[in-house]
A and B are shown apart, each in its own frame.
Chain A
Amino acid sequence: MSDKILTNREPLRSGLDLEAMHRPRARNGRAPDPHVPGGWFPMREHREDEAVDFAIVGTGAGGGVLAARLAEMGFSVVAFDAGPYFRPLEDFASDETAQSQLFWTDRRVTDGENPLKLGSNNSGKAVGGSTVHYAMVALRQRPESFRSRTKQGFGADWPVDWREMWHYYAEAEEALKISGPISYPWGPSRPRYPYRQHDLNAAALTLAKGAEKLGIKWTETPLATLSAPRGKSPPCVYRGFCRVGCSTNAKQSMLVTFIPRAIKAGAEVRDLAMVGRIETDKQGLATGLHYHRDGAWRFQRARNVVVAGYAIETPRLLLNSASDRHRHGLANSSGLVGKYLMTQSNVAVWGEMDEEVRWNKGPPSLAITEHWNYDDSKDFFGGYIHMSQGPLPVEWASVHTGARGLWGKALQDEMAKYNHMVGLKMVGEMMPQERNTVTLADEEDQYGLKVARVTYSWCDNDKAMIEHSLDFMGRQLEASGARNVWRQPDDTNHLAGTARMGDNRRTSVVDTNCRSWDVPNLFVCDGSVFPTTGGVNPSLTIQALALRTADRIQALARRGEL
């Protein structure tokens, strides 16, 4: 191991003690090569007092992609991440609890009628962002989702044509070598996935069996984990620890794909660098950003700033960047920064099979149906997918305690059935509501920055969708042969909104180029620009949008409009 443990005080979450958590690695002209133990890439470095073309805040699905593309276009780029720069081959334990260093566990307060759970399931703190611990589900939104207001009667339209998005989806799928079926059963035709689909585990076979009994289509889930070798990445060996980090680099996270591309193209990555404030001048233009690294606040000058911190940290940074000229926060003349926060419903049904299932083997969601994204005979707006599941023991116990309040012998008896369990879990489109918000709490984090207060309440449409999915998934699971089927009615996961894009500066925060209406050299590049969240996991849409934003920025630059 190249990285020593610093202390012996954390017997559960020992990853928190890794040296990478406490000392920056990307510096002195080099950055870790995640594919080679002890290996380094040469890395170009930039002076703080000379303005770089782009300072990017966040290196996840949005910022990671954008950093690579802008650097490849010849712009000078520094990308900041509050989290560490991991070497998965050397740093990652094969353990659900030790790996919590991947999650954003800084202080955040949640409230509302349905307070959100944050951290492990939707917030990453690492170079590569939450793609380091995501479940790799790589889906396209259906065309109508980009015109929800016009075509479907709810939410807001995206200022983007679906065909343009589908072009960039294909580009993102190719860049990540998504493994998926040859022909996808729903929506307009699309090219073959670059790599062939993965084998099905018993949990996925259960989804398939139930779907066929009910007469709906299913397919192998398109996943960003390899089904064949790619360069120095091996194919997936079905460890099943995807959501606590891939220790073999089969997962095509930003850390092993776009970040190396960015560095090779001349971008600088600064790890353990928490950006606390964007500075603006008298004209209202961004001049750079204040960031905390090595125990001190520093300042990087920049000609343009891109915020890519996802739906909580992005509005938090904009709100924390208030100034005399921008009293209610940066880029907030619409008053919508931090509003229209969306999560996705993630409720589930669970049951028991007589045969051994051993659902922890393989990626968590190997089979999927998008039936209810494409069937419009529903009594609610929006849609959902549902997928097979394979939670590890700590997470599985949390389902029993969270959804059913079990403890004592009742809990242990349920846990004893672990190897026989199956489940179906949805990812569903919750409505954009102005009342669901990220605001600043009267409380500070370890950097002295105001923490985010996240307020969330479900609306009637959300509840109708949840009820529909629980009913349908329950019937499907029973049709597959599962016994004692029960519901987990409260879970949510992915985030979106809080800096929505649109055609009108009064009703949106950024324009179709993801550029702030108010501050022309400020961009947002993450899920916070979503006007609606769609009924699929958001990562591929964030990546596709980042590819598009890079092209848009290049076009603006060529026209002299940057």
Chain B
Amino acid sequence: MTDGLPRYPDYDVLRKRNTVSWNDPTRTAIDRRLAVDRDPHTLTEGEFATLQAICDRVVPQEQGPDLVPIAAYVDQELTLDLSLGYRYAGLPPAKEAWHRAIAALDAESVKAFDAPFVAVDAARRDTLLTRMQKGELKDPAWGDMAPDLFFKQHVLVDIVAAYYAHPTAWSRIGYGGPASPRGYVRMGFGMRDPWEAAEAHPGEEAKAARKNRNV
């Protein structure tokens, strides 16, 4: 992989769904994840569109059937108003934090570019997000919530955790995914169990793809 990033051609972790690597609770969990309701429940339509625009920059994805509906997961998490187990004293609970941040981001976008966040191009979205990450946004709409803390604790946590919880993301990085009751046997360097993703070494893409169709 010295010349580039590892690739796993034709690997789809969902091919393992009916194997001994998936038990019933796992099938239930992943089936429900894939069947996520794509409409917002907590955020308004407008807020949801802004959240989608943020997700598009934090985890850029190609359009297609495997697209991970990240914003839908984030919205569903907010519906339950759960915590991760802690909240920084400078942040309100998650739901309120997102409502406020989306409003503030739109205010910042209008101030900087005369258009709401969803209406500006990718480069300008990145500019605003980078300034949020650096704590450079100062609009009164943020209230006492620090933009950089919100970015670190919510933008990067809620969005990225939702994406990497999805089989599409697992397939892309060659991760084996669920493994119960069958775990793994071959643990040493360069060792692949036949039910793991095969990496395509230069000139051997077809061979790897064939293995990946038979995990």
The number of residues on chain A lying at the interface, defined by a beta carbon within 8 Å of a beta carbon of chain B, is 81
Query: Do A417 and B86 touch (CB < 8 A)?
Result: no
Cα of A236 to Cα of B86 in the assembled complex, Å: 32
Interface residue? B174 (CB, 8 A): yes
Interface residue? A45 (CB, 8 A): no
Interface residue? B214 (CB, 8 A): no
- Hey, which chain B residues are within 8 Å of A461, CB to CB? none
Identify which of B43-51, B53-61, B96-104, B113-121 touches chain A: B53-61
Kindly provide the distance from the CB of B127 to the nearest chain A CB, expressed in whole angstroms.
13
What 1/0 mask marks residues of chain B from 87 to 116 whose CB sits below 8 Å from any chain A CB?
Answer: 111100100000000000000000000000
Interface residue? B6 (CB, 8 A): yes
- Hey, which chain B residues are within 8 Å of A396, CB to CB? 164
- Hey, which chain B residues are within 8 Å of A241, CB to CB? 179-180
Interface residue? B161 (CB, 8 A): yes
Kindly provide the distance from the CB of A226 to the nearest chain B CB, expressed in whole angstroms.
13
Query: Do A202 and B25 touch (CB < 8 A)?
Result: no
Query: Do B165 and A109 touch (CB < 8 A)?
Result: no
Query: Do A420 and B1 touch (CB < 8 A)?
Result: yes
Cα of A517 to Cα of B126 in the assembled complex, Å: 59
CB-CB under 8 A for A115 and B89, given A5-B28, A402-B152: yes
Query: Do B188 and A205 touch (CB < 8 A)?
Result: yes
- Hey, which chain B residues are within 8 Å of A392, CB to CB? 175
Kindly provide the distance from the CB of A420 to the nearest chain B CB, expressed in whole angstroms.
6
Query: Do A412 and B60 touch (CB < 8 A)?
Result: yes
Query: Do A92 and B180 touch (CB < 8 A)?
Result: yes
- Hey, which chain B residues are within 8 Å of A123, CB to CB? 85
- Hey, which chain B residues are within 8 Å of A80, CB to CB? none
Query: Do A11 and B35 touch (CB < 8 A)?
Result: yes
- Hey, which chain A residues are within 8 Å of B183, CB to CB? 236-240, 248, 361
Which of B2, B85, B185 contacts A118 (CB under 8 A)?
B85
Counted as pairs of residues, one from A and one from B, with CB atoms less than 8 Å apart, the total is 247
Query: Do B156 and A354 touch (CB < 8 A)?
Result: no
Beta-carbon nearest neighbor of A8 in chain B: B32
Beta-carbon nearest neighbor of A366 in chain B: B187
Query: Do B178 and A394 touch (CB < 8 A)?
Result: no
Query: Do A415 and B173 touch (CB < 8 A)?
Result: yes
Residues of chain B in range 25-46 having any CB-CB distance to chain A below 8 Å: 25-26, 28-30, 32-33, 35-37
Query: Do A354 and B173 touch (CB < 8 A)?
Result: no
Query: Do A393 and B180 touch (CB < 8 A)?
Result: no
Query: Do A98 and B84 touch (CB < 8 A)?
Result: no
What 1/0 mask marks residues of chain A from 337 to 357 whose CB sits below 8 Å from any chain B CB?
Answer: 000000000000000011111
Residues of chain B in range 150-186 having any CB-CB distance to chain A below 8 Å: 152, 155-157, 160-165, 169-170, 172-176, 178-186
Residues of chain A in range 377-403 having any CB-CB distance to chain B below 8 Å: 392-394, 396-398, 401-402
What 1/0 mask marks residues of chain A from 1 to 32 whose CB sits below 8 Å from any chain B CB?
Answer: 10001001111111110000000000000000
Which of B37, B73, B160 contacts A401 (CB under 8 A)?
B160
Which of B73, B86, B185, B189 contacts A116 (CB under 8 A)?
B86
Identify which of A100-108, A188-196, A264-272, A297-305 touches chain B: A100-108
Cα of A241 to Cα of B59 in the assembled complex, Å: 25
Cα of A98 to Cα of B152 in the assembled complex, Å: 23
Interface residue? A334 (CB, 8 A): no
Which of B29, B72, B184 contacts A362 (CB under 8 A)?
B184
CB-CB under 8 A for A397 and B32, given A93-B26, A94-B22: no
Interface residue? B10 (CB, 8 A): no
CB-CB under 8 A for A12 and B84, given A91-B25, A238-B183, A416-B6: no
Interface residue? A90 (CB, 8 A): yes
Kindly provide the distance from the CB of B11 to the nearest chain A CB, expressed in whole angstroms.
11
Interface residue? A200 (CB, 8 A): yes
Beta-carbon nearest neighbor of B175 in chain A: A393
- Hey, which chain A residues are within 8 Å of B6, CB to CB? 416-417, 419-420
CB-CB under 8 A for A14 and B89, given A247-B23, A358-B196: no
Query: Do A12 and B165 touch (CB < 8 A)?
Result: yes
Query: Do A10 and B181 touch (CB < 8 A)?
Result: no
Beta-carbon nearest neighbor of A202 in chain B: B189
Kindly provide the distance from the CB of A411 to the nearest chain B CB, expressed in whole angstroms.
7
Interface residue? B12 (CB, 8 A): no
Interface residue? A95 (CB, 8 A): yes
Which of B83, B88, B169, B191 contacts A111 (CB under 8 A)?
B88
Beta-carbon nearest neighbor of B2 in chain A: A354
- Hey, which chain B residues are within 8 Å of A358, CB to CB? 176, 187, 191-192, 196
Cα of A91 to Cα of B136 in the assembled complex, Å: 46
Beta-carbon nearest neighbor of B181 in chain A: A248
Which of B22, B129, B187 contacts A202 (CB under 8 A)?
B187
Kindly provide the distance from the CB of A432 to the nearest chain B CB, expressed in whole angstroms.
21
CB-CB under 8 A for A94 and B179, given A237-B184, A240-B184, A361-B184: yes
28 contacts between A and B (CB under 8 A): A1-B25, A1-B28, A10-B76, A11-B35, A12-B162, A93-B26, A98-B33, A103-B85, A104-B85, A105-B85, A108-B85, A115-B89, A119-B85, A201-B188, A237-B181, A239-B180, A240-B184, A248-B180, A355-B190, A358-B196, A398-B157, A402-B152, A405-B133, A405-B156, A407-B58, A416-B5, A419-B174, A419-B175
Can you list the 7 inter-chain pairs with the closest CB atoms, starting with the nearest? Answer: A119-B85, A237-B183, A94-B180, A111-B89, A239-B183, A401-B156, A94-B178
- 6 new A-B pairs (CB below 8 Å) besides A12-B165, A117-B86, A361-B176? A14-B33, A93-B25, A111-B88, A236-B183, A237-B182, A418-B175
